[in-house]
Chain A
């Protein structure tokens, strides 16, 4: 090969490295795809890039934050860098928060303070002048370095691991060669590893309200949600009521703010059923149109649901003074952030991001809490499950004898 070509190829390699580090070029062309910065994480940026490309193909306006929220099967799903607001429309995150960054694994919070659940199934009413903010999240995509679980969870995970081992032994052709992990080794379509099941996701809550103190009702659907509070300097939070989820937690809250908790298990204990009226795309209407369910049966089911919705809203109004359905903000899936208060009108008014690193966390009571990076947490959780598998095996052996 010609020496000149070799030299140019080497130079091209170095140029490529320089190019990777320095240059950005747009796939998809045009300013709409590049005009709005999204999270700084490259992986997330790639995810959003793919979403933006899909939206363009579907003919949506990328400069409208509402384009990033979809109603699918009766659930509202967020697919982009937007935040829920109290104003019946989403907003782009970069218009609300300066330098938002997806949490990284090294942002390990401080050892959480645990708060007992409300035994009497009631919350202390909001302070007299406080304005109610009722936020819902069903878990987000942003996993963090916080894990919590109980002894029973470890036992169930150990039993599941035992069952997987037995099935692998019974079907050697499909065996993974003894590589069945105790809580790791997720494969496509396989069960979610235990350590990921007990990992928290974070929901950012921006408080821009300065006229009145705010009482936050933070409702988690399923899973473990940590609510990370970012408030502007003059904003006051009079109290926080954590509702639903599993051992829900709140971070970066001033020490003086009282926190009360009723998680999903407590709601079941208290006979509180959180329900809302179905959206237009709810499968219940699809099956009615498909003729799978008769009109009379569908009507009876919907009437019963409406009654449950009413009971839930009455209970909520009894606790906080307003119904849940008229005050609820947030989306069902994949939301990142919710904003309480007026939206910033200039870049200077935006809220600063508060990292979770060393953040003070208040959360519901649970047996084990691990605040470590995912790799270390996974090792620790795997070891616990493995030990429990040994205990179960010895117990079974003793019973056989």
Chain B
């Protein structure tokens, strides 16, 4: 705390808040999909099991219907809704363990964790892509606005060159600061040779 003024601290917190909101938005968009983006991409909610096949690619395969008798039983208990036991079972499945204790063919818990981390990395990359796409769009809009502003400035300068000088401009020509011909560097070096 000692090292920050309140103003700096406020600025820093604002910075963290903005970044966090942006990340939350991007991660949200990555996980749940963008509004009106139906069919454009599979979200995690729609996906069954995701297998990472490369650093930046995901392959989405349809989810398997619950065939495990334990799963079915748990769902039956709650009138079809997944109960706490079912959720726990699914979490076990996420790390590669069947509720019966049997390991999935694909992975041991270590590999399951690696898979989960890979999925996180993929989602993070998606979030970065979204953020960069938004940033690029904003940048393009800014550049277009800038081009218009530059044209307006050039037109104003041309107009100023055409019209007669105002009284203020004439007095500036007479009494105002003049553009320097020699730089201070040149002036001070020249003085040494005199």
Taking the closest CB of chain A, its distance from the CB of B75, in whole angstroms, is 12
Inside 8 A of B78's CB, which chain A residues have their CB? none
The reply to whether A277 and B177 form a contact with Cβ atoms under 8 Å apart is: yes
The A/B interface has a contact count, at CB < 8 Å, of 216
In the assembled complex, the Cα of A327 lies from the Cα of B4 at a distance in Å of 38
Interface residue? A396 (CB, 8 A): no
Taking the closest CB of chain B, its distance from the CB of A106, in whole angstroms, is 5
With contact pairs A3-B88, A326-B182 given, residues A277 and B176 touching in the complex (Cβ less than 8 Å): yes
The reply to whether A322 and B188 form a contact with Cβ atoms under 8 Å apart is: yes
Segment touching A, from B34-42, B51-59, B101-109, B167-175: B167-175
Interface string of B107-146 (1 = CB under 8 A from A): 0000000001101110110011001101111111011011
Interface string of B156-170 (1 = CB under 8 A from A): 000000000011110
Interface string of A366-395 (1 = CB under 8 A from B): 000000011110000000000000000000
- Of the candidates A20, A55, A86, A106, which one forms a contact with B184 in the assembled complex, judged by CB atoms under 8 Å apart? A86
B87 to A, closest residue via Cβ: A3
With contact pairs A4-B94, A131-B192 given, residues A105 and B5 touching in the complex (Cβ less than 8 Å): yes
The reply to whether A56 and B139 form a contact with Cβ atoms under 8 Å apart is: yes
The reply to whether A374 and B146 form a contact with Cβ atoms under 8 Å apart is: no
In the assembled complex, the Cα of A11 lies from the Cα of B112 at a distance in Å of 13
The reply to whether A295 and B127 form a contact with Cβ atoms under 8 Å apart is: no
Number of B residues near A (Cβ < 8 Å) is: 75
Q: Which of B1-36 contact A (CB under 8 A)?
A: 1-5, 8, 11-12, 15-16, 19-20, 23-24, 27, 31
Measured CB to CB, the residues of A under 8 A from B are: 1-9, 11-12, 14-16, 18-20, 23, 25-30, 33, 42-43, 46, 53, 55-60, 85-88, 104-106, 129, 131-134, 143, 212, 276-280, 282, 285-286, 288-289, 295, 298-299, 302-303, 305-306, 321-322, 325-329, 341-342, 373-376
Known: A20-B20, A105-B8. 14 other contacts (CB 8 A): A2-B82, A5-B45, A18-B124, A25-B128, A25-B132, A26-B139, A27-B139, A58-B150, A87-B185, A88-B184, A282-B176, A289-B167, A302-B174, A326-B182
Measured CB to CB, the residues of B under 8 A from A are: 1-5, 8, 11-12, 15-16, 19-20, 23-24, 27, 31, 44-45, 82, 86-91, 94, 116-117, 119-121, 123-124, 127-128, 131-132, 134-140, 142-143, 145-151, 153, 166-169, 171-172, 174-178, 180, 182-185, 187-189, 191-192
Closest 6 CB pairs of A and B: A29-B139, A59-B150, A285-B168, A29-B136, A59-B146, A86-B185
What are 11 contact pairs spanning A and B, CB under 8 A? A2-B90, A3-B86, A3-B87, A16-B27, A46-B11, A56-B142, A59-B145, A129-B192, A212-B189, A306-B175, A321-B191
